[in-house]
């Protein structure tokens, strides 16, 4: 009797461990983001333009996007703003209208008094269910900041 219970117990463990598949009824798959331009580490001069290009795709339906650029104070200047200029900021949101694939290409003009330093370009995307994905690219305005 004991041995039978053992075997049943262990069999139950094995079965339950391998048998659980994914939830087919709900969408758990994140949308995909591929940033074609700019590449990490790219440098831009103030008053030039960033050529931004990215591809988005989802298994069911894309939702919306947010492209943001912000100045990343990495602590080197201990919170003090650089003496030259204002941190450049960019914000762009929009909807994909339920498409499964889309591409966004914009030219982002950099202000003439943009502070020099490291910036992050954040590309956020949701699908219609609410699954969210994000990709970041580091770039520099002005000279490449020597990290060391």
Partner 1 sequence: MRKIFILFIFLAFESYGHDRLKLSGTVIDEGGLPLPGAHVFLDEKAAVSGVDGGFEFSNLEPKSYIVKCNYVGYHPYQSEIWIKNDTSVSIILAAASIRLDEVVVTGAAEAGAPARSVENIGSAQILERYSGSFIKSVETLPGVNSMDIGAAMSKPVVRGMGFNRVAVAENGVKQEGQQWGADHGLEIDPFNVEKASIVRGASSIEYGSDAIGGVIEIDNSGVPEKNSFSGNAAFLAKSVNHTVGGSLFAQYRGDRYYFKLRGTILDYGDYATPTDEIRYLNYNIPVYNNRLKNTAGAEKDIHVAGGYLSDRFRTSMSVSRVNQLNGFFPGSHGIPSLKRVEDDGDRRNVEYPYQHTIHFKAISNSVWIAGAGDLHLDLGYQSNRRREWSQFHTHFTGQAPPEINPGLELDFHLRTYSANVKYHFHAAQHHFTLGAQNQFQDNDIEGYNFFLPVFQTASAGVYAKDDWNVGKKVMMSMGLRLDWGKSAVEAHFDSLLYRDLIGRGYEQNQAAQYAHRSVALKKPDMNLSWMIGLDYEISGKWTSRFNLGKSFRMPLAIELGANGVHHGSFRHETGDPGLNSETGHYIDAGLEYHAPDFSLSFNPYLYYFSNYIYLNPTGTWSFLAHAGQIYEYTQSKAMLSGMELSITNRIGGHLKFSGNMEYIYNRQLSGRYKNYPLPYTPPLNGFAELEYGFGSFDKNEWKYSLRLNGRFAARQNHLAINEESTPGYDIYGLALTGALTFGKQSVHVSLQGHNLFNARYFNHISFYRKLEIPEPGRNIQLLVRIPINVRL
CB under 8 A: which stretch of 15-23, 44-52, 96-104, 105-113 binds partner 1? 15-23
CB of 86 to partner 1, least distance (A): 7
- Burial pattern 113-126, b for ≥16 Cβ within 10 A else e, equals ebbbbbbebebbbb
Which contiguous run of DSSP H or E holds residue 103? strand 101-109
Q: Judged by CB under 8 A, does residue 146 bind partner 1?
A: no
Q: How many CB atoms lie within 10 A of CB 58?
A: 25
The reply to whether 26 sits near partner 1 by the rule CB under 8 A is yes
Q: What pairs with residue 108 in β-bridges?
A: 50
Report 85-114 residues binding partner 1 (CB under 8 A).
86-87, 89, 91, 93
Q: Output 20 or 107, the one with its CB closest to partner 1.
A: 20
Distance from C-alpha of 53 to C-alpha of 31, rounded to nearest angstrom? 17
Q: Length of the chain, please?
A: 148
d(CA 39, CA 108) in angstroms, rounded, equals: 15
Binding mask 43-82 for partner 1 (x = CB under 8 A): --------------------xx-x-x-xxxxxx--xxxx-
The contact set with partner 1 (CB under 8 A) reads 2, 5-6, 9, 12-13, 16-18, 20-23, 25-26, 28, 30, 63-64, 66, 68, 70-75, 78-81, 86-87, 89, 91, 93, 120, 122, 124, 126, 129-132, 134-136, 147
């Amino acid at each position: 009797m004991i041995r039978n219970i053992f075997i049943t117990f262990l069999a139950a463990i094995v079965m339950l461990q391998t048998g659980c598949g994914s939830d087919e009824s709900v969408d758990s798959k994140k949308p995909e983001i591929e940033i074609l331009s700019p590449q990490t580490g790219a440098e831009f001069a103030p008053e030039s333009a960033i050529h931004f290009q990215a591809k988005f795709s989802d298994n069911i339906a894309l939702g919306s996007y947010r492209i943001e650029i912000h100045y990343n104070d990495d602590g080197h200047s201990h919170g003090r703003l650089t003496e030259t200029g204002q941190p450049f900021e960019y914000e762009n949101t929009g909807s994909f209208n339920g498409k499964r694939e889309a591409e966004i290409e914009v030219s982002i003009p950099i202000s003439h008094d943009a502070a020099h330093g490291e910036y992050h370009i954040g590309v956020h995307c949701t699908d219609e269910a609410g699954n969210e994905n994000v990709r970041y690219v580091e770039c520099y305005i002005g000279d490449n900041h020597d990290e060391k």
